[in-house]
Each structure stands twice: as structure tokens, then as C-alpha cells.
């Protein structure tokens, strides 16, 4: 079949002056329109010409006006157009001009027959676009990050909690307490997650002891606790804090180190950022594998220094 739409344009003779400019505009826009004035010459059989037009049309368009409703020729054309539509041979299209849906036949009421202002170029161009198969449906985009599949190992967490935790993990500079401090509106704007869902996610994390909320009046700020980074870092960053914790204790035990400042420990792992070092230290501290010491001046690290204990030794042996 020719890729050019073949349109049969049915209308009442009283609507000829209304229909002709539309037919001309359609033809100028690449639609091969069957229009009675152009196709039926003097002495031609009206029935045969109509049958010829109907037999090749890919689209059947009927202009539904008060004058057209109930007219025998128009009703006959509608019957023929409907039969071709049922057989999958053409697409049936009805457009209304000055007719309410309730005044259409029961059959036409079941079809989408939009009201079209034939004197409005935008309306007519919209109709032309539909005949050419142009859709105004926007392209399908990517899913928001908060509805994408959760990483393996986080199935026990709500989608909202995972989205909030991921935001905290990715925006934290050093992975320590109060880093970052944020609020539901900020997280919602960054993730696309509705504010109500952010609040529910924060509540889940707070109940698990992973975030803390401010006690200030009229403030909804909250922040990550170190345990949140222990739980979620390995799922969203390019390192595994448990594996790094094992590397640290092996180095401490092998070098027979009993106490070390974190600034000195960082020298032993020069390729690690403070963010990565703190994630491993948070893991060790949270599991009581070390004795940690915190104080002013320890920044950017989560603690100032650590002591090796029997628990450190046991953790090293368990992961030899």
C-alpha cells in the first residue's frame, strides 16, 4: 500500500463550503483526498465514483454537522466506512462541527469524534498530523532513580529508605556524623521522590538507628550517622568497607601496631581518600573490632586514633 494516506472525505452537500478548504489544506500537506467535487465529473456515476474512492481509502473521514446527521448519502458513506474499518482496511474518523456527542447515533457515540473548528488552522493541522500517524505522546524516559531496582542485599529496606540513604551516601564528603545535614525538601528536589515518601524513608532509617533528626523547633533537618555509611556505602560507592576493614586489621596485626593515629594510618593506604578510610573505620568501630578515640581536630577522619584489641586480633584471624 502507498505510504501516502488515501483519505475519503464524506460530508453533507450543505457543508461543501466548509469542507473544501480543509480538503485543500490536507492535500497541500501530503494527503491524497477523495473529495466529491474533484472526483465526480459531468455524466459520471456518483455511486461508482464513491465506491472507487472508498475501495482505496486508508482513512475514512466524515464531517458530522447538524446538516449531515440523518442524510441518506452521508449515512450510506458512514456504513461503508464502518465496514472497511471493521475489516481493517481503513481507519474510521469522525469530526464534529456544531454537534453534541449526545446527538450522534449510538454507534458514533462509542467512537472518539472530537469537536474540530475547521476555521482554526491549528485544529486542522492537528487532524492532519493524526492522519499522517504523528503522535503527540511524549517519548518514554528513564525511571526515576528512586523506583529503579534496589541493589542486591537491600531487599529488606523500603524503596524510600534506599533512595534517601543513597542520596546521603553520595553527597557525604567524608562519611562522618552530620555529613551531610539536609532536609526532606532538598532530598525530594535531588531525587524526584515525593516529600511524603522522603519523610517515610527518613523514619525507616531513624527507626534503624541510621539517621538522626534535629530537635530544633520548626526544623526538619536530619543527618546520617556513621552506621548508615557502614550499611549502604558498599552498595553505592566503588569500594567495599568490610573488605577495606579487613585490609586495615591485617596491616595493623602484621606490623604489630597496638595504637596508631589515623593520620599515620592514612599514610599506609595512600590511595584511599578520607571518605573511603572513614567507611572502613566506621565498620570496625560499629562492630567493636577496635577501640576508637574521637576528639576535636580529628577531621577529616572519623576518629583521632585507634587501639588494637583482642577483638581486632580475632577479626583478623576470622578473615585470614
Residue 141 lies in a domain: no
Residue where a domain stops, chosen among 234, 269, 294 = 234
Instruction: Categorize the per-residue pLDDT at 1 as very low, low, confident or very high, splitting at 50, 70 and 90.
Output: very low
Q: Say whether pTM exceeds 0.85.
A: no
- What tens digit of pLDDT does each residue of 303-314 get? 999 999 999 999
Region 92-96: what's the mean pLDDT? Answer: 95
Mean of the per-residue pLDDT values of the chain: 93
Residue 221 lies in a domain: yes
Residue where a domain stops, chosen among 206, 234, 262 = 234
Whether residue 55 sits in one domain with residue 102? yes
For 154-183, b/e burial (b = at least 16 CB within 10 A) is beebbbbbbbbbbbbbeebebbbbebeebb
* pLDDT the model gives residue 3: 83
The strand pair at 222-224 and 211-213 is best described as antiparallel
Residue 222 lies in a domain: yes
Region 99-124: what's the mean pLDDT? Answer: 93
Whether residue 161 sits in one domain with residue 229? yes
Which residue is associated with the grid cell 472518539?
112
- What tens digit of pLDDT does each residue of 227-280 get? 999 999 999 999 999 999 999 999 999 999 999 999 999 999 999 999 999 999
CATH number of residue 84's parent domain? 3.40.50.10140
Domain ranges, residue 59: 6-131
Whether residue 307 sits in one domain with residue 245? yes
Q: How many domains does the chain have?
A: 3
Whether residue 243 sits in one domain with residue 210? no
Region 77-106: what's the mean pLDDT? Answer: 93
Residue 136 lies in a domain: no
How far is CA 136 from each of CA 95, 128, 181, rounded to the nearest angstrom?
Answer: 18, 12, 42
Which region, left, alpha or beta, applies to residue 130 given φ > 0 means left and ψ of -120 to 50 means alpha?
A: alpha
Whether residue 123 sits in one domain with residue 41? yes
Amino acid at each position: 500500500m502507498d505510504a501516502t494516506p488515501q483519505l475519503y472525505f464524506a460530508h453533507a452537500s450543505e457543508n461543501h463550503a466548509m469542507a473544501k478548504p480543509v480538503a485543500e489544506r490536507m492535500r497541500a500537506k501530503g494527503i491524497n483526498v477523495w473529495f466529491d467535487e474533484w472526483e465526480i465529473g459531468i455524466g459520471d456515476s456518483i455511486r461508482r465514483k464513491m465506491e472507487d474512492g472508498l475501495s482505496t481509502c486508508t482513512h475514512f473521514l466524515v464531517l458530522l454537522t447538524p446538516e449531515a446527521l440523518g442524510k441518506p448519502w452521508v449515512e450510506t458513506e458512514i456504513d461503508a466506512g464502518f465496514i472497511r474499518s471493521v475489516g481493517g482496511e481503513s481507519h474510521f474518523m469522525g469530526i464534529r462541527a456544531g454537534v453534541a456527542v449526545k446527538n450522534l447515533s449510538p454507534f458514533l457515540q462509542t467512537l472518539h469524534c472530537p469537536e474540530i473548528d475547521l476555521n482554526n488552522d491549528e485544529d486542522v493541522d492537528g487532524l492532519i498530523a493524526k492522519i499522517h500517524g504523528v503522535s503527540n505522546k511524549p517519548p518514554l524516559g528513564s525511571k526515576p532513580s528512586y523506583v529503579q531496582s534496589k541493589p542486591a542485599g537491600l531487599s529488606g529496606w523500603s524503596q524510600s529508605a534506599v533512595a534517601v540513604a543513597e542520596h546521603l551516601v553520595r553527597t557525604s564528603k567524608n562519611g562522618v556524623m552530620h555529613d551531610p545535614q539536609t532536609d526532606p525538601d532538598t532530598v525530594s528536589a535531588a531525587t524526584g521522590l515525593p516529600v511524603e515518601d522522603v519523610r517515610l524513608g527518613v523514619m525507616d532509617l531513624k527507626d534503624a538507628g541510621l539517621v538522626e533528626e534535629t530537635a530544633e523547633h520548626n526544623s526538619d533537618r536530619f543527618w546520617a550517622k556513621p552506621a548508615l555509611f557502614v550499611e549502604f556505602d558498599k552498595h553505592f560507592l566503588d569500594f567495599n568497607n568490610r573488605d577495606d576493614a579487613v585490609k586495615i586489621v591485617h596491616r595493623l596485626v602484621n606490623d604489630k601496631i597496638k595504637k596508631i593515629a589515623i593520620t599515620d594510618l592514612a599514610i599506609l593506604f595512600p590511595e584511599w581518600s578520607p571518605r573511603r578510610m572513614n567507611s572502613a573505620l566506621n565498620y570496625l568501630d560499629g562492630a567493636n573490632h577496635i577501640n576508637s578515640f574521637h576528639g576535636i581536630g580529628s577531621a577529616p577522619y572519623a576518629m583521632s586514633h585507634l587501639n588494637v584489641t583482642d577483638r581486632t586480633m580475632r577479626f583478623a584471624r576470622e578473615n585470614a
